A and B are shown apart, each in its own frame.
Chain A
């Protein structure tokens, strides 16, 4: 059923290929990026590979799902993984990673000067770009250790999508910039013979910055920059090397998205950005895709049928004597007005569109009560509605017969809701496919609940591998 020209993205061959050394999962926030990374790690390990998953900021639940209460900066072996392979998991601690670099590359005295510098402390813990730099560093470190044959990386929830790709360049341009030279000048010169270097621009700048930030702050920055001076080259070399590593054939980027407009718009941006940077894109992982094994029953027909069931007792119609074909034709006729009026509203003394807003509001306010009373009057207490007609109230005395009708009507309404979701997802997906027909897609059928354990991650892995055709959506 997938409409994209490039077809389905086959996950297992990608995981099984010994040539695949790094898989990078990127995508906007809230699309299940970290869960995808963890599920890929579990699946690859259980298919025999030695895997490490580098997560950036996992939800506690997710760390627990891998049997690790708190992930830290060191890879920990995940227990209960089946088969020959191994799974290790870790969480990036950006401050710890930064500290380690300083300790590894500076003599103890200089390292101490850097680590205690207030500007450094703030930079290493706080600043928005640090996470991206350090994720790159950590990836480079893991790759250099050569202990794992596959590294699965989750990317930081950056404010702009691919900040981690920009990290080396930004660092480079900063380090090559005039500004840092100017900042370093007074510290290097020690204020002695440096006077002639202190041109107009310099004094104006330090003057301004001094005014703005306060003298002590500027002094902290200058001391920091001077102390880091010898290390900067190494930073840049390593960042550049990691950047090239990402472009190499052993790397596969997976763009993760949900079938929603915003997430897919971001995904399209990621795809374009990866292409611009010559990064190897394996495909798109589309999480939480809905399917239905009853897809041949349309939303409109399901709604019309639900309404006829809910109406029947009131009007005293004897449904069974009706010719089924005729009845169906009637329902089909109604389809035309479903969108505007929410079905057969006219004959029921309740116009739909305007009171609906009021009812929805009431529902919003009374949700707490609805939990308790929903058994009694399911329709009445239905939450805010998705589309006109989905949760109209129906009043009639409950009876044994009746409840089958109400139950069946409920099943039909649920189905209608599901079909509307399907249609919406299909539209968004088609829009993406039209924009990027070359991108292979793996669809992951939505789970009703959340992932808590390895079994849950396995299920996600199975669904990922099942790929192009979520259950019953054909």
Chain B
């Protein structure tokens, strides 16, 4: 399994949750994973119900079997200062640059530099080794920008390498690109069984493939149970309605006569959704990718729900 797991998806599909669950799922049997966030939203901290992270890798969860999940919210400015310090011993000069607005320029205005720093930091964590020569993290999971931006975000190094034709930024960009385009990386897209997210997933995969970035899996999130189908709902007319009303009364439901219509309306909506979901599954099926389905956590996402999703992912074969 690729050591850099990039998780993207349309807004609202729960990509941060899936990224966190994946990091937990991969951290079994004493393994260590690093969960990185690149958009400065502190979504991981909120998910794990901890306070906002400073710019440091810190342990946020223990997985079943003794594994550990670390998290890092990558900050472009700090990453650039670290980088200057690491390669040029520019501690003081870095501060001077900041005062001048040069750091601001590099991290917010200059095209691509910010993204290079963010992906660069993630790749550094992927390649980092400890004193014993083993990898510091078994897996790095990135909560990446949404589907609409993911290809540009990952591919920006190519662009920057073209823009900065020589020098360390150029070299850095190329080194990062080598990791991102190798089998060491897998880009997963999270979707819902709804038309727009599925369409965006299909488009996103075409873009990723066009840029020769390694597409991983499609993860369908928040899948709801199918209870009734359309045929069953349609069958309820005339005498059947009376039977349903009687059956409701028999089961202890009072005022059942007035309930039949609204209950059937709800069932018809459900059946319509089931049909739409079937169509969207068929669309996803044409992509030729492994698809994982994760259930909707009905009570709302919390830590317990996160661990449950992680165990779902393990059962589906993640980390094997």
A378-B166 contact, Cβ under 8 Å, with A122-B111, A383-B223, A404-B244: no
> What A residues does B299 contact at CB under 8 A?
387, 420, 424
7 closest Cβ contacts across the A-B interface? A29-B11, A30-B12, A384-B295, A214-B167, A386-B298, A30-B11, A293-B262
**Distance A292 CA – B270 CA, assembled complex (angstroms):** 13
**Distance A205 CA – B264 CA, assembled complex (angstroms):** 71
Q: Which residue of A lies closest to B17 (CB)?
A: A262
The total number of A-B Cβ pairs within 8 Å is 300
Task: Check B101–A208 contact: CB distance below 8 A.
Answer: no
Task: Check A378–B156 contact: CB distance below 8 A.
Answer: no
Task: Check B109–A174 contact: CB distance below 8 A.
Answer: yes
**Distance A187 CA – B298 CA, assembled complex (angstroms):** 61
A405-B247 contact, Cβ under 8 Å, with A30-B10, A411-B267: yes
**Distance A367 CA – B281 CA, assembled complex (angstroms):** 10
Q: Which residue of B lies closest to A366 (CB)?
A: B293
**Distance A379 CA – B159 CA, assembled complex (angstroms):** 53
B134 at the interface (CB under 8 A from A): no
> What B residues does A414 contact at CB under 8 A?
227-228, 263, 266-267, 270
Task: Check A412–B263 contact: CB distance below 8 A.
Answer: yes
Task: Check B88–A217 contact: CB distance below 8 A.
Answer: no
**Distance A426 CA – B174 CA, assembled complex (angstroms):** 50
B104 at the interface (CB under 8 A from A): yes
B168 at the interface (CB under 8 A from A): yes
Interface residues of A (CB under 8 A from B): 28-31, 57, 59-62, 118-119, 122-123, 126-129, 157, 159-160, 170, 173-174, 177-180, 182, 201, 204-205, 208-217, 220-221, 258, 260-263, 265, 292-294, 296-297, 301-302, 304-306, 308-309, 319-320, 322, 324, 327-328, 330-331, 357, 360-361, 363-365, 367-368, 370-371, 374-375, 378-379, 381-387, 390-391, 404-405, 407-415, 417-418, 420-421, 424, 427-428, 448-450, 472
Q: Which residue of A lies closest to B155 (CB)?
A: A126
Give the shortest distance, in Å, between B226 (CB) and chain A (any CB).
5
Task: Check A208–B225 contact: CB distance below 8 A.
Answer: no
Which of B53-61, B123-131, B145-153 lines the interface with chain A? B145-153
> What B residues does A417 contact at CB under 8 A?
224-225, 227, 298
* Per-residue contact bits, chain B 30-48, to A (CB 8 Å; 1 contact, 0 not): 0000000001110100100
Task: Check A60–B148 contact: CB distance below 8 A.
Answer: no
* Secondary structure call for the A interface: helix
Give the shortest distance, in Å, between A99 (CB) and chain B (any CB).
15
Task: Check A415–B316 contact: CB distance below 8 A.
Answer: no
Task: Check A297–B12 contact: CB distance below 8 A.
Answer: no
Task: Check A128–B170 contact: CB distance below 8 A.
Answer: no
* Per-residue contact bits, chain B 135-155, to A (CB 8 Å; 1 contact, 0 not): 000000000011010001000
Give the shortest distance, in Å, between B50 (CB) and chain A (any CB).
15
Q: Which of B46, B104, B159 contacts A126 (CB 8 A)?
A: B159
Task: Check A29–B10 contact: CB distance below 8 A.
Answer: yes
Give the shortest distance, in Å, between A390 (CB) and chain B (any CB).
6
B175 at the interface (CB under 8 A from A): no
Task: Check A383–B93 contact: CB distance below 8 A.
Answer: no
The count of chain B contact residues (Cβ–Cβ below 8 Å) is 101
Task: Check A126–B112 contact: CB distance below 8 A.
Answer: yes
Task: Check B226–A213 contact: CB distance below 8 A.
Answer: no
B303 at the interface (CB under 8 A from A): no
> What B residues does A322 contact at CB under 8 A?
250
Which of B62-70, B191-199, B210-218 lines the interface with chain A? B191-199
Task: Check A320–B312 contact: CB distance below 8 A.
Answer: no
> What B residues does A319 contact at CB under 8 A?
250-251
Task: Check B262–A410 contact: CB distance below 8 A.
Answer: no
B238 at the interface (CB under 8 A from A): no
Task: Check B105–A179 contact: CB distance below 8 A.
Answer: yes
Q: Which residue of A lies closest to B38 (CB)?
A: A159
A213-B223 contact, Cβ under 8 Å, with A30-B11, A384-B294, A450-B276: no
Give the shortest distance, in Å, between A393 (CB) and chain B (any CB).
12
Give the shortest distance, in Å, between B87 (CB) and chain A (any CB).
9
B232 at the interface (CB under 8 A from A): yes
> What A residues does B224 contact at CB under 8 A?
383-384, 386, 417
**Distance A363 CA – B311 CA, assembled complex (angstroms):** 14
> What A residues does B235 contact at CB under 8 A?
407
Q: Which of B200, B251, B293 contacts A59 (CB 8 A)?
A: B200
Task: Check A360–B295 contact: CB distance below 8 A.
Answer: yes
> What B residues does A28 contact at CB under 8 A?
11-12
B29 at the interface (CB under 8 A from A): no
> What A residues does B272 contact at CB under 8 A?
448-449
Task: Check A61–B166 contact: CB distance below 8 A.
Answer: no
> What B residues does A214 contact at CB under 8 A?
164-167, 169-170
Task: Check A472–B262 contact: CB distance below 8 A.
Answer: yes
**Distance A28 CA – B10 CA, assembled complex (angstroms):** 11
- Cβ contacts A to B, 21 pairs, < 8 Å: A30-B10, A129-B108, A157-B148, A159-B41, A180-B105, A201-B96, A205-B100, A217-B167, A294-B262, A297-B259, A308-B252, A309-B251, A378-B228, A381-B226, A390-B298, A404-B243, A410-B228, A410-B232, A411-B228, A411-B244, A417-B225
Task: Check A29–B250 contact: CB distance below 8 A.
Answer: no
> What A residues does B252 contact at CB under 8 A?
301, 304-305, 308, 324, 327-328, 330-331
> What A residues does B145 contact at CB under 8 A?
159
> What B residues does A424 contact at CB under 8 A?
298-300
Task: Check A212–B109 contact: CB distance below 8 A.
Answer: no
Task: Check A126–B263 contact: CB distance below 8 A.
Answer: no
B1 at the interface (CB under 8 A from A): no
B237 at the interface (CB under 8 A from A): no
Q: Which residue of A lies closest to B298 (CB)?
A: A386
Given contacts A414-B263, A421-B298, 15 further A-B pairs with CB under 8 A are A122-B112, A127-B111, A160-B39, A177-B101, A179-B105, A217-B163, A221-B110, A260-B12, A383-B293, A384-B223, A384-B224, A408-B248, A449-B273, A450-B194, A450-B195
A306-B251 contact, Cβ under 8 Å, with A177-B104, A208-B93, A412-B263: yes
> What A residues does B115 contact at CB under 8 A?
128
